[in-house]
A and B are shown apart, each in its own frame.
Chain A
Amino acid sequence: MPSRSTHEWLEAAYAKAVERTKERQKRFESSSGAEVDATYGPEALSDWNYHEKLGFPGEYPFTRGVQPTMYRGRLWTMRQYAGFGDAEESNRRYKFLLDQGQTGLSVAFDLPTQIGYDSDDIHAEGEVGKVGVAITSLDDMETLTDGLPLDKVTTSMTINATGSILLAMYVAAAKKQGADLTKVGGTIQHDVLKEYIARGTYIFPPRPSLRLITDVFAWCKDNLPDWNTISISGYHMREAGCTAAQELAFTFADAIEYVDAAIAVGLTIDDIAPRLSFFWACHSNFLEEVAKFRASRRMWAKIVKERYGSDNPRSQSLRFHTQTGGATLTAQQPINNAIRTAYQAMSAVLGGTQSLHTNSFDEALALPTESSVELALRTQQIIGYETGVADVIDPLAGSYFIEELTDRVEKEAEAYLQRIEDMGGALTCIEQGFQQREIQESAFRLQRMAETKERIVVGVNQFQTEALEVPPILRVSPEISQRQVDRVKALKGRRDQAAVDRALADIKVAAAGTDNMVPLFIAAVEAYATIGEICNVLRDEWGEYQEVLTI
């Protein structure tokens, strides 16, 4: 056989074959619209250096994974995001999930808690306990964590604008349990920049928000060494419509903003980087997602080494949580979502995630029921224990296409990141609505593609059925919300009001100065000051963020 390149084969033999059998699409493309060839060959790896591009697992640039043993030592943490109603109800759900073999907790808070309103505030009406658990004071946090050993179980809390206050409550609850704070582990999301871009639960303007974040970095370094101080999230921007490469670029731009803010207040890269964690989405383009996870590790390792000059492997290694794509779930033929979720979970595992949340099939309809959550958890257990994919580290490495795609996602993301840098960085871009506009464009393009059937969504624009299956859904009963409101009112009546007032006055003084706020938050929540009271002091002092409207 004369030796031919893949390109030559595509031009001749393949082109001829296509004349006989037409391709089923005019163009095949990645999530960002880049064209995908019919096949990839050894040329994809021609000037490719294994040690430079991949390295061994646990070694720079960490493309293959952050630990040398990966899932052969321990599987990823199976962490289902849960929480609804009041603290008592959610505490029951957590105990159920731990009994089912879940290995870490992940707390969903209701919107008033996320935006700094007490359950009995007028702004909270209709929202108490709806999308997560209502936590107004330490009293609720104690109920939430009752019977859960906080020095053993790790807890991830999806909380941003009020992250430092919820962290204070968690620490106060752990102290009450008598836990050794050096053994208390977990994560707060605390990534406010992406709230301005996509998720929307901001309170304060960017500068004071960044200060709360660096206060948490500094306080945890000395007092809560095992805590992941931030979970820098691409997830919500992806859910809002951006592409895989944009997800990486926007997230790393935010990360750079946080690291720069920390360095500006005197911390070093190695003080903070080992405790940074990341949060990616996993959507349905299976191989592109695997490539994205691998590219993300390599990109971050390079940023930490080249931009910040750190040679500490702990600082360079990007640890991440993954959640399957909520926006890929359909209300039509909801059971199909279980299959989508399983494939997405598989690509997260092939991409080397440290922890994983699998969505439940009924989440395009309402909050998931106990049985749908159980199925989602079983999906992870089947991948981990039955499929064998966890037995070999980075098993797709060396595939022509996977390596080509990993390089391509990285290149696209780097170009985007450069654009953001050239415009002045993440924060300046947010203030100008850049990321918001880019995400909207991409979301609109995806919508149009579904409407013209360039993009097939099974059960929605193709293979529809008339019969509407309506599985049972979870509802938070109004009595539970009312019970929470009553509990908050009762607490406000029985606590030592003078102690609360003193603690709030201290917060007001510190907010106008530069002292670390975290110890003051702990003192305030220990006096049973509420989240709304603390946030109102800060609102008075700092003002509130105004959304940049980009329509």
Chain B
Amino acid sequence: MATEQRTLRVLIAKPGLDGHDRGAKVVARALRDAGMEVIYTGIRQTPEMIAEAALQEDVDVVGLSILSGAHLEIFPRVISELKKRSVEDVTLFCGGIIPEADIPAVKEMGFSAVFGPGTDTNDIIAFLRENATERA
């Protein structure tokens, strides 16, 4: 449980080229309202930019949102860029249009949760409070 720790720092990022940022912004706002420190990258971030932001901002959690269908190609690149920078102990979650059939592959990559359309933001908050811990 994360109750006694410092405030969780969360990076919400939009990899890929799609501009559908409604979900990412709603989640960013909800997490902030729940007391977390949230950094939102804006759209069209390359894997390098996201990993660099995670490193510089020293975040505990990285949430990726993508709706273009390029998740299977782009997510592994984000993870490898994070590894290159030794940012390996962050909690990863994602959302957007991720077909049901792809969820096992996405979890295999290291994402602890996938939050699709219709998600209650309270579920995301609860999930992070339960699972994310401040990085060493």
Contact residues in B for A486 (Cβ distance below 8 Å): none
Q: What is the CA–CA distance of A444 and B69 in the complex, to the nearest angstrom?
A: 24
Contact A547 B26 (CB under 8 A): no
List the count of A-B residue pairs having beta carbons below 8 Å apart: 99
Contact residues in A for B16 (Cβ distance below 8 Å): 111, 126-127
Known contacts A440-B29, A443-B26, A468-B100; is-contact A127 B118 (Cβ 8 Å): no
Contact A127 B17 (CB under 8 A): yes
Known contacts A112-B17, A331-B116; is-contact A551 B25 (Cβ 8 Å): yes
Contact B70 A127 (CB under 8 A): yes
Report A336 CB to chain B, min CB distance, Å.
12
Interface residue A156 (Cβ < 8 Å from any Cβ of B) = no
Q: What is the CA–CA distance of A461 and B123 in the complex, to the nearest angstrom?
A: 13
**Cβ proximity bits A225-243 to B, threshold 8 Å, 1 near / 0 not:** 0000000000000011100
Report A457 CB to chain B, min CB distance, Å.
7
Contact residues in A for B46 (Cβ distance below 8 Å): 123
Contact B97 A240 (CB under 8 A): no
Q: Of all chain B residues, which has the CB nearest A200?
A: B19
Q: What is the CA–CA distance of A130 and B70 in the complex, to the nearest angstrom?
A: 7
Contact residues in B for A473 (Cβ distance below 8 Å): 99, 101
Contact residues in A for B116 (Cβ distance below 8 Å): 331
Contact B99 A447 (CB under 8 A): no
Q: What is the CA–CA distance of A547 and B72 in the complex, to the nearest angstrom?
A: 26
**Cβ proximity bits B5-23 to A, threshold 8 Å, 1 near / 0 not:** 0000000000011111110
Known contacts A112-B17, A451-B121, A551-B40; is-contact A443 B22 (Cβ 8 Å): yes
Interface residue B38 (Cβ < 8 Å from any Cβ of A) = yes
Contact among B17, B29, B40 with A549 in the assembled complex (CB-CB below 8 Å): B40
Report A132 CB to chain B, min CB distance, Å.
10
Contact residues in B for A123 (Cβ distance below 8 Å): 17, 46
Contact among B19, B68, B73, B121 with A447 in the assembled complex (CB-CB below 8 Å): B121
Interface residue A198 (Cβ < 8 Å from any Cβ of B) = yes
Contact among A130, A239, A332 with B22 in the assembled complex (CB-CB below 8 Å): A239
**Cβ proximity bits A450-472 to B, threshold 8 Å, 1 near / 0 not:** 11000001001100000010100
Q: What is the CA–CA distance of A450 and B19 in the complex, to the nearest angstrom?
A: 23
Q: Of all chain B residues, which has the CB nearest A439?
A: B22
Contact residues in A for B99 (Cβ distance below 8 Å): 365-366, 473
Contact A240 B43 (CB under 8 A): no
Q: What is the CA–CA distance of A364 and B118 in the complex, to the nearest angstrom?
A: 10
Contact A330 B117 (CB under 8 A): yes
Contact B19 A199 (CB under 8 A): yes
Q: What is the CA–CA distance of A200 and B22 in the complex, to the nearest angstrom?
A: 11
Q: What is the CA–CA distance of A112 and B68 in the complex, to the nearest angstrom?
A: 11
Contact among A112, A198, A201, A460 with B118 in the assembled complex (CB-CB below 8 Å): A460
Number of B residues contacting the other chain (C-beta, 8 Å)?
Answer: 36
Known contacts A131-B68, A364-B97; is-contact A332 B122 (Cβ 8 Å): no
Interface residue A503 (Cβ < 8 Å from any Cβ of B) = no
Q: What is the CA–CA distance of A500 and B116 in the complex, to the nearest angstrom?
A: 45
Q: What is the CA–CA distance of A332 and B121 in the complex, to the nearest angstrom?
A: 16
Report B59 CB to chain A, min CB distance, Å.
15
Q: What is the CA–CA distance of A447 and B115 in the complex, to the nearest angstrom?
A: 14
**Interface members, chain A 500-551 (any B CB < 8 Å):** 547, 549, 551
Interface residue B74 (Cβ < 8 Å from any Cβ of A) = yes
Known contacts A130-B68, A551-B29; is-contact A115 B17 (Cβ 8 Å): yes
Interface residue A34 (Cβ < 8 Å from any Cβ of B) = no
Interface residue B42 (Cβ < 8 Å from any Cβ of A) = yes
Contact A200 B20 (CB under 8 A): yes
**Cβ proximity bits B112-132 to A, threshold 8 Å, 1 near / 0 not:** 000011101110000000000
Contact among A200, A330, A332, A443 with B44 in the assembled complex (CB-CB below 8 Å): A200
Contact B69 A366 (CB under 8 A): yes
**Cβ proximity bits A187-198 to B, threshold 8 Å, 1 near / 0 not:** 000000001001
Q: Of all chain A residues, which has the CB nearest B24?
A: A551
Contact residues in B for A457 (Cβ distance below 8 Å): 118
Q: Of all chain A residues, which has the CB nearest B14?
A: A200
**Cβ proximity bits B89-105 to A, threshold 8 Å, 1 near / 0 not:** 00000000101110000
**Cβ proximity bits A425-456 to B, threshold 8 Å, 1 near / 0 not:** 00000000000000010011001001100000
Contact residues in B for A440 (Cβ distance below 8 Å): 25-26, 29
Interface residue A15 (Cβ < 8 Å from any Cβ of B) = no
Report B127 CB to chain A, min CB distance, Å.
15
Contact B40 A470 (CB under 8 A): no
Contact residues in B for A443 (Cβ distance below 8 Å): 22, 25-26
Contact residues in A for B77 (Cβ distance below 8 Å): 125
Interface residue A367 (Cβ < 8 Å from any Cβ of B) = yes
Report A537 CB to chain B, min CB distance, Å.
20
Interface residue B30 (Cβ < 8 Å from any Cβ of A) = yes
Q: Of all chain B residues, which has the CB nearest A447?
A: B26
Contact residues in B for A392 (Cβ distance below 8 Å): none
Most buried by B among A112, A331, A457, A460: A331
Q: Give the B-binding residues of A (Cβ under 8 A).
A: 111-112, 114-115, 123, 125-127, 130-131, 195, 198-201, 239-241, 327, 329-332, 364-367, 440, 443-444, 447, 450-451, 457, 460-461, 468, 470, 473, 476, 547, 549, 551
What are 6 A-B contacts defined by CB distance under 8 Å? A126-B70, A126-B72, A330-B118, A332-B118, A440-B29, A547-B43
Q: Give the A-binding residues of B (Cβ under 8 A).
A: 16-22, 25-26, 28-30, 32, 38, 40, 42-44, 46, 68-70, 72-74, 77, 97, 99-101, 116-118, 120-122
The 10 closest A-B CB pairs, nearest first, are A200-B19, A126-B73, A126-B70, A111-B17, A551-B40, A130-B69, A460-B118, A331-B117, A547-B42, A127-B70
Besides the known contacts A443-B25, A451-B122, 12 further A-B residue pairs in the complex with CB atoms under 8 A apart: A114-B17, A126-B16, A126-B70, A126-B73, A130-B69, A200-B44, A201-B17, A241-B22, A443-B26, A447-B30, A547-B43, A551-B29
